[in-house]
Amino acid sequence: MRSEGVRERWVRTGGVELCVAELGDASQPTVVLVHGYPDSKEVWSEVAARLADRFHVVAYDVRGHGRSTAPLPLRGGFTLEKLTDDFLAVADAVSPDRPVHLVGHDWGSVQAWEFVTVPRTEGRIASFTSMSGPSLDHFAHWIKDRVARPTPRRVGQLLGQGAKSWYVYLLHTPKLPELAWRGPLGRRWPKIFRRVEKVPVGDYPTPSLPQDAIRGAWLYRDNVRARLRRPRTDAYAHAPVQLVTPTGDGFLSERLYDDLGRWAPQLVRRTLPAKHWVPRTRPDQLAAWIDAFVTAHDGGGPTAASAVARGPYAERFGGQLVLVTGAASGIGRATAFAFAEAGARIVAVDRDAEGAARTAEMSRLIGAPAAWAEVVDVGDEPAMEKLAGKVAAEYGVVDVLVNNAGIGLSGSFLDTTSEDWRRVLDVNLWGVIYGCRVFGRQMAERGQGGHIVNTASAAAYQPSRILPAYATSKAAVLMLSECLRAELAGRGIGVSAICPGIVNTNITASARFAGVSEEEEQRRRKRSSRLYGLRNYPPEKVAEAVLRAVVENQAVVNVTPEARGARLLSRLAPGVLRAAARWEPRL
């Protein structure tokens, strides 16, 4: 980490010299970052830079890696006991009077599990954030439990993790890893790494990578077989633990952590749609979670209980930034509340300033760590561009965008004026296009993924003689979502179209009815609102579908029973829908 503001020192311990980098104010809580294999401390540069404004951030090259010296001989020089000695030496040097907050990735996490479970470190660790690296002791008990009580599911879990651990077997073979890293693998690794993990070009991997990988092979050789044969039975965490699990990790199964609550009584779980190297691919999200967890467990901040959201998707959305348009009421408000319950930060956007402010206020009460209200007409492109600039500058890049704002219009095609068409398309279609363009571009430029949700409708595939403008706008939103999904998939950005049927919201109270008098329009609004109320399908169920669509990266979600039925008919018997479209309901 050779950037502005970085201070380096050397710490001597156990016959080696460790290169230690520090950022930020040393009087603030100390966060120690421990890297994995075959990394060096530079793997943390993006995360460290984001934490340095609030914390004293420390990253060190593990013995034999980066600029730290290697033990001689290598065999026996990388045991967990010696790595624990190294950690304590670094902690005593950088924070002699206060416990440190520990963060580990990959083998850095494997080491850190040792640090946080052995008696001699008790009192020196205030919290631990783990990602992509289990305790070897916990892993051994996980294996033994499934061997002792085999079921098809448990055997499948063992075989699945066994396949993912192919590299562990190779690293135990004599000479082969050394030959590979000195030869073609060492030369090609940066390109492989960037292609497979979709990692932006930066200061990683470093030129020391082949040597780091050769020496680091002894992390596996000195520890894995020994601990799997004789795991500790007292490996209980004596500090609060935050577990971050990348759902796309190619080396570790999510099922490895099923029993972790047994070993870590104070456990918070997070999941992230990412691959293995999350310190490089998702530094914003990691920094936000580390920041919140450290603050919760350092005293002077909120209690741990109040800092952790309890909603059904809290593991996934805690700390993320979610922007919802049309958030003053109906589906938009319910969606904002559902994300707030999951611990997300909320930007509630609507033309209705009072309604948006109320949604933001209620989101904070429900569980959002922060929520803001923004007033904008989504059909105004300059206003949307201005909003995107403000959100990025003041709150950050949006992780989840929900383009929900919409208006209703009923009436025959011949009765619908050009102005009616413009207004419906401005909000229902162009509002979605503007949102996807300005916020989707920010997501793509950040390079850390994200998700876009566009609210379409069952009317998108269900023709109607009384909804030509509305149905056309929603059909366009559906196709736009499908096209965007194909385009943005390579950037790690998911796109979902939500297609509800009849939902009990206030859209009917403001809907336009073309070709009728004002008095008749008011009568039809009241009748439509009454019919929607009788159907009484709550917007909260649509909000649940929105969150599930993001978690599962679903393409098209048909929410209500009538929406699912219409979608099925549109594929199997479209003539039935066309015939039904000729019917003119009495309003």
List active site positions: 470
Copy the structure tokens of residue 219. Answer: 């992390």
Q: Annotate 57-93 with three-state secondary structure.
A: EEEECCCCCCCCCCCCCCCCCCCHHHHHHHHHHHHHH
Residues sharing a CB contact under 8 Å with residue 96, sequence separation 6 or more, in sequence order: none
Q: How many angstroms separate the CA atoms of 91 and 550, rounded? A: 40
Residues sharing a CB contact under 8 Å with residue 563, sequence separation 6 or more, in sequence order: 458, 499, 500, 501
Q: How many angstroms separate the CA atoms of 131 and 103, rounded? A: 8
Which amino acid is it at 126? A
CA dihedral (186, 188, 194, 195) in degrees, to 10, reads -140
Residue for token pair 């993001």: 550
The answer to whether residues 462 and 470 touch, using CB atoms and an 8 Å cutoff, is no
Q: How many angstroms separate the CA atoms of 115 and 113, rounded? A: 5
Q: How many angstroms separate the CA atoms of 123 and 173, rounded? A: 39
Residue for token pair 């805690």: 318
Which amino acid is it at 327? A
> What SS3 class is residue 481?
helix
Strands (E), 98-250: 100-105, 125-131, 241-246
Q: How many angstroms separate the CA atoms of 201 and 493, rounded? A: 19
Task: Give the containing element (helix H, strand E) for 410.
Answer: strand 409-410
Residues sharing a CB contact under 8 Å with residue 196, sequence separation 6 or more, in sequence order: 250, 275
Task: Give the containing element (helix H, strand E) for 222.
Answer: helix 209-229
> What SS3 class is residue 513?
strand
